[in-house]
Amino acid sequence: MDILFKTFLTFHIIGGVTGLLTGFLNMIAKKGDSRHRIVGKIFFFSMLTAGLSSLVLSTINPSLFMFMVGIFTVYMVGTGKRYLHLKMLNQMQKPKIIDWSLTIGMMLAGILFIGLGVLSLLKSNLFGLVFITFGFLGLLFVRHDFKNYTGKSHLLNYWLSEHLQRMIGAFIASTTAFLVVNAKYLPESIPLILYWLLPTIIFTPLIIKWANKYEVKK
């Protein structure tokens, strides 16, 4: 079991570090060209590897932290990638089983995270704010999915907006995990919960800004 854990931990570290580097590169680089697509594919597979290995690690050595990050990451990169193939939902295109599976899975996980967050807060554990934040964000994107899957989006290029937001969301999850794991090497004067929420606080306004920049309304 120890060998299995170390093997998946290696996959997780390699995937996470590669995802951080390629994600940052694509955020500052020009969007839509061939380099963006190549780096984006590396980012996708790296983050998918990091997310899936998190789920395995959280099963071998139970950890709600690893489980939450794994679920959120897989959902974000999974749906972010799938939206590139769902450009005609406003014209009777139907989502596939994989699309509904990702969405329903995140919906159930989001409800679970919020429930765990509330229970933690009732026990005076501020870490519950982290669960509530990730749960709320997950359910927000799930709401977008239901709206898009039924052709009710008010955007013509909803797929581009969703792709952009979700890939950055996956980057947020990866950055959060990196900060929390390495918090012992960072200034001790900063509360751990701030490391959890800082990437979300920093990058969420950028998500809103870029989404507004590229969206085309009907």
Question: What element of type H or E holds 146?
Answer: helix 128-149
83-99 as b/e: b if 16+ CB within 10 A: beebeebbeeeebeeeb
- In whole angstroms, what is the distance from residue 192 CA to residue 51 CA? 22
* Inter-residue contact 177 to 114 (CB < 8 Å): no
- In whole angstroms, what is the distance from residue 96 CA to residue 24 CA? 30
Instruction: Return the pLDDT at 201.
Output: 83
pTM as predicted: 0.88
* Inter-residue contact 169 to 102 (CB < 8 Å): no
Show the domain range for 56. 2-214
Instruction: Return the pLDDT at 71.
Output: 94
In 3D space, the residue among 9, 22, 29 whose CA is nearest the CA of residue 70 turns out to be: 9
* Inter-residue contact 21 to 31 (CB < 8 Å): no
% of the chain exceeding 90 in pLDDT: 48
- In whole angstroms, what is the distance from residue 56 CA to residue 154 CA? 38
Mean pLDDT over all residues of the chain? Answer: 88
In the predicted structure, residue 185 carries a pLDDT above the cut 90: no
| 31-60 pLDDT, tens digit each | 777 888 899 999 999 999 999 999 999 999
Task: Estimate the share of the chain in helix, then strand, then coil, as percent rounded to the nearest 5.
Answer: 80, 0, 20
Domain count, the chain: 1
In the predicted structure, residue 176 carries a pLDDT above the cut 70: yes
Instruction: Return the pLDDT at 56.
Output: 93
Report how far Cα 214 is from the mean position of its chain's Cα atoms. Answer: 20
Instruction: Return the pLDDT at 54.
Output: 92
62: tokens are: 């139970």
In the predicted structure, residue 135 carries a pLDDT above the cut 80: yes
Q: Check residue 30 and report its DSSP letter.
A: P
Comparing 28-32, 54-58, 69-73, 123-127, which segment has the lowest mean pLDDT? 28-32
